[in-house]
Every structure is written in C-alpha cells, then in structure tokens.
C-alpha cells in the first residue's frame, strides 16, 4: 500500500476552511488542519473541523511544531509573523508552501506600504501620528522593546525555506518580484468557480443607481479620495452603500462617515455590523455599480462575485487586479479616468449583454487547470 502524503494546512480562522477541505480531500493525502487562534492565549484544543487549535504562545507554537515536524509538507495560508517563526524552527526536511493572500506582503514589506494611499487619504494620515508612523512604531515594538526580528526581516528569512508561492494572479507575482525575491511561482487556487460564484447568470438589480463603496473601514480603501471624485458628480441621482464592518474603527471610520454625510446626507447608507456571507451577497445584489479604490489587491472575493453578478466595477489603475481583469477580457472601469465621464454620460451600469460577457470571462479565468496537486503527489 502506497504511503499517504501527510499535509498540514495552517490557517488563522474558519473562513476559508470550507474551500480548502474539498480541494485536498483525495485518497493519497493525509490532511491535518491546524488553526492559529489569535484570540486565545492559553488553551490547546481540537474539534470536528480542526485537528489542532493552538494559541499564539510558546506552548501553542511548540504544539504546532510537533505537528509540523511530523508532516511531509506544510501549506501556510497567509504568511504572518507566527507562521514565519514556525517555518524557521521546523525540521529542515519538511517542505513548506506559501499560499499568497496579499496583505502578508503589502502590510509587512515597507516598500509597498508607502504606495497604498491616495492624495486625500495622505492628508488625513499626516495629522494622525499613529497612522503616519505605524511602520516605524511596529519596527520599534519588535526591535527595541521585544528585541526580536521585525516582521519584514522574519518574512524575508522564512521565504528562503519555502518551495513555492501558490497563487492564481501571475501579474501580481510578477509585480511583487520586481521589489523582493519570492519563491518560485506555482499557479494554484484552493477553490473552484462555483464555490465563489454560486449562480448561473448575473442577477444584480438595476432599477436604481446604487453605488457600493469599499469593502471595510481599513484606510487602504482610500474612502476620502473616492469622496473627492464623487463630489464632482454629486448633483447626479445615485445612492451610496459603504461597508465599514471591520478595520480601522475609531478616528478614520468617524472621519469617513462625517465627510460622506456632509455631502450626500440621507443618500448614504453605512453598513457597520457583520452579517453572514449569504446576507452580504444579497446586499450586493442591490448595487449595479461598485468602487473599490485600493492601490493593491484587496477585496478580491467581493470583486469577483460582484463582477460575475453584473455589477460594473471601478478600480484604481494602481491596483494589479485591474490589469489582471483587463487582460482576461473583463469589462471593468478605471475610477481615476472613467468614472466621472461615465456618470455624466449615463453610462455607469452595464448592459445585459456585457454582464453576461463578464460572467463568462470570470468563469473562464477561474476554471484554469492547476498542476500543483499532481506535483506534490509525484
């Protein structure tokens, strides 16, 4: 009998587990699922979904290392400080793979962080020292107070132990590789098209001109720059939906609400509480137009779902997702250069024909075959 390949999957939460499970549920794999519990400081446990749940403590990390060192290979979903530590402390014969998310690079590598903000957002940050100097504050915390390697140093060290970077947007890997050296790219996604687009045709409602703005209250949404663009067309008849359910909760969130209300008053709806994925998707069905003004890959699941569902998506030309979608033949708009004219020319919403074209383009884009599972089975 052929020995099964033991794979340890390390994740920080439950959100993506339902996608990972069926992808790796193959006879030749012995899968173990390890959850790093960021909210728990003491208890080690397990349940039906997780083989091991450990706190981010020395005891927890030692327990995690025992499982890691028993594996043939380990897949790290989002490469944060703790996973980097585990990689560097693991036995040298264990093979490590990194499933790229985006924030693991953009939030830990300083050369990228400085290019994430628009003009109006930078003005706000200038007066908020905790935002303006957070890179230096983080460095001070690790290097001076804790006397540890900084997140950037730890991240770069761990990359040397990783076999492959796993991701499905080659344009993004090429972009990042111009700044830092990454492990060899291997095309792979842990989900299939139907898992993220669970419908057979676009169904967004186009009776009213509702515009969805951003995916969270993180400052990387550049809400204040979006507002500057919207003000130029504020006389036109549209409503705004702004999601602020997680992210920067204090001064930034309050600033966003205050400034949007000042111009658009009752035309603004703010969503500040968490809802289920089904409820969230139902909400997005009411928005035939969306603006995601991140300067990096962010809100990717939202973007894919909404574009496939018929929403006209406006992105920044600074966002590599814009290039990826354009290269795939998806009709997306550039917020900086197209939104204002489209609004004035009554061209914000997509025709039924273009909606269907986008649906099929997304389906083709996410149906590309991957050879990664065969590779690790050789």
**pLDDT digits 0-9 by tens, 205-255:** 999 999 999 999 999 999 999 999 999 999 999 999 999 998 877 789 999
> Two tokens at 363?
């389906």
Three-class secondary structure of residue 220 per DSSP: helix
Nearest Cα neighbor of 209 from 233, 229, 190, 226 is 233
Residue 348 backbone phi and psi in degrees, to 5: -75, -40
| CATH 3.40.50.2000 domain span(s) along the chain | 195-365
For residue 127, what pLDDT is reported? Answer: 56
If you average pLDDT over every residue of the chain, what do you get?
A: 92
Give me the DSSP letters along 269-282. EEE-S---HHHHHH
pLDDT digits (tens, 9 = 90+) for 350-368: 999 999 999 999 999 999 9
Of the candidates 300, 152, 278, which has an alpha carbon nearest to the alpha carbon of residue 215?
Answer: 300
Task: Provide the pLDDT for residue 108.
Answer: 87
The mean-pLDDT minimum among 17-26, 137-146, 342-351 falls in: 137-146
Specify the pairing of strand 210-213 against strand 73-77. Answer: unpaired
The pLDDT tens digits of the residues spanning 247-294 come to: 877 789 999 999 999 999 999 999 999 998 889 999 999 999 999 999
What pLDDT score does 149 carry? 83
Output the CATH code of domain 195-365. Answer: 3.40.50.2000
pLDDT band for position 109 (50/70/90)?
confident
What pLDDT, on the 0 to 100 scale, is given for residue 279? Answer: 93
Which residue would you say has higher pLDDT here, 206 or 149? 206
Tokens of 121: 């957002």
The confidence score (pLDDT) of residue 46 equals 87
pTM of the model: 0.93
Q: Which of 36, 74, 30, 31 is nearest to 53 (CA)?
A: 36
* Alpha carbons 137 and 111: distance in angstroms, whole number: 16
Which of 362, 20, 365 lies closest to 190, judged by CA? Answer: 20
pLDDT per position as a tens digit, 156-182: 999 999 999 999 999 999 999 999 999
pLDDT greater than 60 at residue 129:
no
pLDDT of 311 strictly over 80: yes
Please state which CATH class domain 5-190+369-377 belongs to: alpha beta
3-state secondary structure of 97: strand
Instruction: Give 143's pLDDT tier (boundaries 50, 70, 90).
Output: low
Burial (CB < 10 A; 0-12, 13-18, 19+), residue 7, is buried
Of the pLDDT bands very low, low, confident and very high (cuts 50, 70, 90), residue 125 is confident
Helix axes 170-177, 320-327, angle to 10 degrees: 140
Dihedral (CA of 233, 236, 238, 239) sign: positive
Residues in the chain: 378
The pLDDT value recorded for residue 114 is: 81
């Amino acid at each position: 009998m052929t020995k099964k390949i033991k794979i340890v999957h390390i994740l920080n939460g439950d959100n993506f587990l339902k996608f990972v499970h069926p992808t790796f549920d193959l006879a030749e794999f012995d899968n173990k699922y390890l959850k790093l519990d960021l909210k728990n400081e003491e208890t080690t446990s397990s349940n039906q979904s997780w083989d091991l749940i450990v706190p981010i403590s020395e005891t927890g990390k030692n327990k995690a290392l025992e499982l890691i060192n028993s594996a043939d290979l380990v897949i790290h979903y989002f490469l944060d400080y703790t996973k980097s530590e585990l990689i560097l402390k693991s036995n040298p014969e264990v093979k490590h793979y990194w499933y790229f998310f985006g924030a693991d690079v953009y939030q830990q590598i300083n050369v990228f962080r400085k290019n994430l903000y628009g003009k109006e957002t930078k003005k706000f940050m200038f007066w908020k020292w905790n935002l303006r100097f957070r890179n230096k504050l983080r460095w001070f915390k690790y290097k001076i107070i804790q006397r540890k390697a900084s997140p950037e140093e730890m991240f770069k060290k761990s990359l040397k132990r990783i076999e492959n970077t796993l991701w499905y947007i080659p344009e993004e890997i090429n972009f990042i590789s111009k700044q830092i050296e990454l492990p060899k790219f291997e095309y792979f996604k842990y989900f299939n098209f139907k898992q993220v687009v669970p419908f057979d045709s676009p169904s967004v409602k186009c009776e009213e001109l509702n515009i969805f703005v951003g995916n969270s209250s993180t400052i990387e949404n550049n809400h204040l720059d979006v507002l500057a663009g919207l003000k130029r067309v504020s006389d036109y008849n549209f409503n705004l939906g702004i999601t602020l359910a997680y992210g920067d909760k204090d001064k930034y969130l309050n600033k966003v609400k205050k400034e949007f209300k000042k111009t658009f008053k009752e035309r603004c709806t703010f969503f500040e509480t968490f809802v289920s994925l089904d409820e969230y998707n139902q909400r997005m069905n009411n928005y035939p137009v969306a603006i995601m003004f991140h300067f990096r890959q962010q809100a990717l699941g939202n973007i894919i779902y909404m574009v496939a569902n018929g929403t006209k998506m406006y992105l920044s030309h600074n966002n590599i997702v814009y290039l990826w979608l354009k290269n795939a033949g998806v009709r997306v708009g550039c917020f900086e250069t197209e939104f204002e004219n489209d609004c004035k020319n009554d061209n914000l919403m997509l025709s039924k024909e273009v909606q269907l074209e986008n649906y099929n383009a997304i389906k083709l884009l996410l149906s590309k075959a991957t050879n990664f599972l065969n590779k690790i089975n050789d």
